[in-house]
Amino acid sequence: MTSNNTPPPAPGLGIWANLGIWIAFGAAFGVLVGVVVGGFFDNLAYGVALGSSIGPGLGITAWAVFIAPRRNARRDS
């Protein structure tokens, strides 16, 4: 027996609710910042490695701070 009483998914968030998108943007931002930082220290490989390792973490953090609370609030209401 099935029930049709399940709530619909949170509206209005679209693609931005996807954690993978935030990780990808964080990685891209990290590489970009890494290129700039690497240029300052005359070591491009170091900058890119540093940026690509920190960037996905920044994306996850941004998702957890800005998107996850909105998703949970809309789901609970």
pLDDT tens-place string over residues 12-67: 656 666 778 888 888 888 888 888 888 887 888 888 888 888 888 888 888 888 77
How many residues does the structure list for the chain?
77
What does the block give as tokens for 19?
């954690």
Least confident of 1-5, 43-47, 72-76: 72-76
Distance CA 33, CA 1 (A): 54
pTM above 0.85, yes or no: no
